[in-house]
Structure 1
Amino acid sequence: MKLVIYQTSDLHGFVYPTNYVTEQSLGILKIGSYILEDEKKYDVSLKIDCGDLVQGSALTHYLSKKDIDSNPIVELLKDINYDAYVLGNHEFNYGLDYLTTAYKSISNKIINANITGLPFESKPYRIFDINGFKIGCIGFTTSFIPNWEQEKNIKDLEFLNPVEMYGKYEKELKEQSDMIIVCYHGGFEKSIDGKNIPTEKLTKENQASELLEKYDSIDIVLSGHQHRSFITKLNGIICAQPMHNGQNFTKIVIDTETKESTYELVDVSKLNNKINSDLEKRFTKINEELQEYLDKEIGHFKNDIILDNIFKARLEGHPFINFLHEVQLEVSNADFSALSLFDTAIGFKKNVSIRDVLINYPYPNTLKVLKVKGSKIKEAIEKAATYFVLENNEIKINEEFLVPKVQNYNYDTFAGLSYEVDLNKEFYDRVISMKKDDENLDLNKDYTIVLNNYRASNTAIYPAYENAEVVKEINMDMSELIIDYFQRHREVDIPDGSCYKFKY
């Protein structure tokens, strides 16, 4: 008997094959339409989503503002007949009420072995009996969520260690299953080349490698969260992770008699199938409403501030970066601002719509203001300065920000001061000048800095902020703050200059 397993992860609410600026080869409609036809070639199918489903796109932002009885994105996966769901860390971004509304209709299919206190039903694992061949699917979510998420969004929840929780259920899984699949919204913290070398700081954010080191009962790991895009075998165990936004998905075919298998990541750009009209009709009205909402004009720039070259913008500065800093500084009244430039950012033309804001800032980040010493500001800038390296007099991105996954979002720029960095110097000794109001920054003085809630809370990358006093929390999404900024400043003129300079 031939069993086919389909896995999606980190779909982030991308339903249509578009980022709402241009058509792109991605999205749930393309994937679901393919699966409904492709599964007919096999005796039985198993469909699993590994989280970060209902947040991350212009559509999810729009839905979060509506009073809805059920989430149409989850309902779409029901139409595709998904068998199991894992919660991702971004599922919590809009709060527990929104999460409950989204998942209550399929809560009996949620596999969750390490989050306690959820306001709806879930099971640690499910056993799928396929004509006598039993597959045990256990679900985990990264336990690192309290390091990022606003406390109000995870009130009374506890995120337990997935490695320890697998040990709790291993015996009964082995007794009831012919094959065990770990479905994990988390990734691999060590290399997947067989050498098992740490590829990141071992904070317990990603623990798939640790799971495989400790237990020999796992047959397949379906992972997510890191947006890495790979499928391989590690010591005979199939390990997969699809790309984000539905750019590809996992397909594994198993002969249940011989246990032989084939596996691949299916590239959505290579699919020629038409979108299933029955699936699409669920979104016809919503999409019309969304397009009207996105096209609403909210303000104007004096000039276009288009991002033609993101690498150059990060290196030399850009009016778009200046604008984001201006929004953060004005709403916070902080001395300094820190932020990263997202890979999805495209900049703004003169006339700005809500669509433009959400394309450039699709994440529901809020802001925090921290009190830190001037020495800590320098430490943070020194960390950011490790993003660039000099090779044969050419500036490149430090491989640590590219492997095992691209982490451009971990490079921050700073505003409210002017600073100069010498790339010829060693890491953490590169900042040669920091001035505020034309005076050298006092390393012993207390200052305030505004940054998004993820950077303020997850200090593994920027330890300069560890244990810093929180002076203020601004609990409004950054995209809403940008929209509000335009309501107060209909005509916006942003300077071209940069407050930082790299010497090389």
Structure 2
Amino acid sequence: MSKKFFIALSLIVCGLLFASEIEFTKLDTLYILQTTDIHGNIFAYDYFLDEPAQRGLAKIHTRIKEYRRKYETVLVDCGDMIQGTPLTYYYNRIDTVSAHPMIEAMNIMEYDAFTVGNHEIEQGTDVYNRCRNQSDFPWLSANSTLENDSTYFQPYIIIERNNLKIGILGLTTPAIPMWLDDSLYPGIKWQDMIETASKYVKILRPQVDILIGTFHSGFDETDGAEKTKLMDLPTDNASGLVAIQVPGFDLIFGGHSHNELPMKKSISVDENSPLQLISGSWGRKLGVAEIITASNADSSWIIQKSVWLEDIKEIQTSEEFIDLQSIYHQAVLDYIRKEIGTSKDTLSSAKSRLQDSALMQLINQAQLDFTDADISFAACFNTNVNIEPGPIKVKDIYKLYPYENYLYVVSMTGQQIKDFLEYSSRYYYWENGKLQTNQNIKGYNFDMAEGISYSIDYTKKSGDRIGNILLSDSASRLDLNKKYKVAMNSYRASGGGGHLPAAGAQENEVLFKSNLEMRNILAEYIMKIGFIENIVDSNWKIIIPQ
């Protein structure tokens, strides 16, 4: 705390206490530190690029230790910790005997609480329960309810610092059914965040001096609202709504959206308005909340609270993490450097959302090869993939396909297939003589098909853009009344992106679910065919007016 700030604060405190004639015996400062959406970034290393990186828990830990040397602290995380890099995949799926490195890291850092994210649930019960059992801290999610009204995960924890009782309530985005098959969370119902927060604030507020919400959910309620409405699910990003509609919180920490909030230091002396914070993703920032309290023999109370983000790029890796890296790092490097095939040409995903490409064709052909589907849907997740001529390695597949999706086959009518593509086409629009990108649509929600050929005409209104749909194997027109077998990833088949609900196909029969994840399916397909090359059938195209 700077000298000028301390003097100013002292004047504020004295003014408040003098005005209210409250006697106090001491002032205390408490720091509540937050991480979120780390997504497997323990070490300062990028396993996708196979090179060092300026991020990760290893750096954040150094800064946390600096705080702890001077002050009382609380450390929380708001979810999506155990998924996202080859390191987490390796210790989630391949080496399941060793202690999980993410949990080892969190135990070393002495986290006080962890709120469950959707990507924890995505890993399945075996993985997240194994990790939970290894944890020295509670996994929180008050809205993970079971039939008997109990919760699958612990709803909250009360801890003590500076003789203050601090309540921490965890909530998870209830939009999980939109992305994940219910076999990944058997028996759990994900309840509305606002209703759940209201219930637990009544329980917690009388017991604690400080109440913190640690939510795996963003602050912009409009983000994802269209898709949750289609599936009749509670609001996905409801942290901001809780802050407005549920009085009683002093701080609300968010996650899930990967946003950074606040952009500059925020200070408040309003005890009825919770400060909001979300520290981005991948361990690039540390979220910091400073709470200054006054106390006397009878009680304690908050006189000021502040929140800000700290960049950790220039901070050194902690000594404990150097030791941890020596245990876990090399096995992952050996895994990602394994050769699985050969590329004859330079392959790029740069224009994969504008025209058919060899890399997108590879994904769709792998999906068709693994199933007996007639048609395949897939999206380009990363437009920065470049595969040079020569050996193809496992790390190349991670760049192309970073998610732990499975492969499904869904029964769809020809009309539903057309409507699916119409909905997907919203990623672009035509304006002022140019093709424009819709900033409200994520790039990974623009799907491309194989097994049919078609055109997209953006000079036509939405719902009438997809034309000339022909079956690739016969060149006959797609029968709008006939049922077809359509391959897609588990995210899309569960309703992710809103495509199936928009096409009226959310309740359609699922004909097949793979036991292998999509990256493994891609790797096996490349090993099967031996090589890939830059040959494209150009089965779809965007019509650009001349």
TM-score normalised over the length of structure 1 = 0.90
Deviations 1:384-438 (A, max 9, x none): 111012232232211222xxxxx22111111111111111122222113211132
The secondary structure found in structure 2 opposite 1:476 is strand
What is the correspondence of 1:37-52 to structure 2 with a 5 Å cutoff? 37-41=66-70, 43-52=71-80
The secondary structure found in structure 2 opposite 1:244 is coil
Q: Does 1:260 align with 2:304?
A: yes
AA at the equivalent of 2:117: G
Which shifted more, 334-343 or 66-75?
66-75
User: Structure 2 residue aligned with 1:207, among 222, 238, 245?
Assistant: 238
Q: How far apart, in 2, do the equivalents of 1:346 and 1:460 lie?
A: 22
Q: How far apart, in 2, do the equivalents of 1:438 and 1:189 lie?
A: 46
Q: How far apart, in 2, do the equivalents of 1:390 and 1:208 lie?
A: 34
* Residue in 2 that maps onto 1:388: 428
Q: Does 1:306 align with 2:348?
A: yes
CA RMSD of aligned residues (A): 2.6
* Residue in 1 that maps onto 2:43: 16
Q: How far apart, in 2, do the equivalents of 1:95 and 1:459 lie?
A: 17
* Residue in 1 that maps onto 2:317: 275
Residues 109 and 13 (structure 1), Cα distance of their counterparts in 2 relative to 1, 3 Å cut: same
* Residue in 2 that maps onto 1:450: 487
What is the correspondence of 1:475-486 to structure 2 with a 5 Å cutoff? 475-486=515-526
What is the correspondence of 1:199-348 to structure 2 with a 5 Å cutoff? 201-202=228-229, 203-204=233-234, 205-231=236-262, 236-257=273-294, 258-268=302-312, 271-307=313-349, 309=350, 312-343=351-382, 346-348=385-387
Q: How far apart, in 2, do the equivalents of 1:137 and 1:285 lie?
A: 33
The secondary structure found in structure 1 opposite 2:169 is strand
User: Structure 1 residue aligned with 2:209, among 178, 195, 216?
Assistant: 178
Contact persistence 2:41–2:55 (CA under 8 A): yes
* Residue in 1 that maps onto 2:3: none
Q: How far apart, in 1, do the equivalents of 2:73 and 2:118 lie?
A: 27
Q: How far apart, in 2, do the equivalents of 1:215 and 1:496 lie?
A: 54
Q: Does 1:472 align with 2:512?
A: yes
Pairwise CA distance, 1:122: 4.8
Q: Does 1:61 align with 2:92?
A: no
Which shifted more, 271-280 or 226-235?
226-235
Which shifted more, 115-124 or 20-29?
115-124
Pairwise CA distance, 1:352: 0.7
Pairwise CA distance, 1:374: 0.7
Residues 279 and 17 (structure 1), Cα distance of their counterparts in 2 relative to 1, 3 Å cut: closer
Pairwise CA distance, 1:222: 0.9
Q: How far apart, in 1, do the equivalents of 2:57 and 2:309 lie?
A: 15
Residues 474 and 238 (structure 1), Cα distance of their counterparts in 2 relative to 1, 3 Å cut: same
Q: How far apart, in 2, do the equivalents of 1:344 and 1:53 lie?
A: 25
Q: How far apart, in 2, do the equivalents of 1:23 and 1:408 lie?
A: 27
Residues 480 and 503 (structure 1), Cα distance of their counterparts in 2 relative to 1, 3 Å cut: same
Contact persistence 1:369–1:472 (CA under 8 A): yes
Contact persistence 1:127–1:136 (CA under 8 A): yes
Q: How far apart, in 1, do the equivalents of 2:327 and 2:538 lie?
A: 44
Q: How far apart, in 1, do the equivalents of 2:96 and 2:87 lie?
A: 14
Pairwise CA distance, 1:252: 1.4
Q: How far apart, in 1, do the equivalents of 2:306 and 2:241 lie?
A: 25
Percent same amino acid among aligned pairs?
Answer: 27
Pairwise CA distance, 1:200: 6.7
The secondary structure found in structure 1 opposite 2:205 is helix
Contact persistence 2:44–2:317 (CA under 8 A): no
Q: Does 1:134 align with 2:165?
A: yes
Q: How far apart, in 1, do the equivalents of 2:459 and 2:309 lie?
A: 41
Pairwise CA distance, 1:213: 4.1
Deviations 1:264-309 (A, max 9, x none): 22233xx3221112222112132111111211111112212133x2
Pairwise CA distance, 1:17: 2.5
* Residue in 1 that maps onto 2:106: 77
Deviations 1:120-144 (A, max 9, x none): 9853211222223332110111223
What is the correspondence of 1:99-178 to structure 2 with a 5 Å cutoff? 99-106=128-135, 108-116=137-145, 122-178=153-209
* Residue in 1 that maps onto 2:460: 425
AA at the equivalent of 1:63: Y
Q: How far apart, in 2, do the equivalents of 1:117 and 1:292 lie?
A: 42
Q: How far apart, in 1, do the equivalents of 2:145 and 2:226 lie?
A: 29
TM-score normalised over the length of structure 2 = 0.84
Contact persistence 2:456–2:466 (CA under 8 A): yes
* Residue in 2 that maps onto 1:404: none
The secondary structure found in structure 2 opposite 1:358 is helix
The secondary structure found in structure 2 opposite 1:461 is helix
AA at the equivalent of 2:317: I
Q: Which runs of 5+ in 1 are unaligned?
A: 402-406
* Residue in 2 that maps onto 1:87: 116
What is the correspondence of 1:21-32 to structure 2 with a 5 Å cutoff? 21=49, 22-32=51-61
Contact persistence 1:19–1:359 (CA under 8 A): no
Residues 425 and 121 (structure 1), Cα distance of their counterparts in 2 relative to 1, 3 Å cut: closer
Q: How far apart, in 1, do the equivalents of 2:205 and 2:485 lie?
A: 54
Deviations 1:221-249 (A, max 9, x none): 11111222222779942222232222223
Pairwise CA distance, 1:334: 1.0
Which shifted more, 43-52 or 483-492?
483-492
Residues 177 and 53 (structure 1), Cα distance of their counterparts in 2 relative to 1, 3 Å cut: same
* Residue in 1 that maps onto 2:450: 415
Contact persistence 1:364–1:479 (CA under 8 A): yes
Contact persistence 2:212–2:250 (CA under 8 A): yes
Matched pairs, number: 489
Pairwise CA distance, 1:209: 3.5
* Residue in 2 that maps onto 1:492: 532
Contact persistence 2:44–2:54 (CA under 8 A): yes
Which shifted more, 55-64 or 428-437?
428-437
Q: How far apart, in 1, do the equivalents of 2:99 and 2:122 lie?
A: 17
Pairwise CA distance, 1:53: 0.6
AA at the equivalent of 1:324: I
User: Structure 2 residue aligned with 1:35, among 64, 89, 103?
Assistant: 64
Q: How far apart, in 2, do the equivalents of 1:472 and 1:111 lie?
A: 33
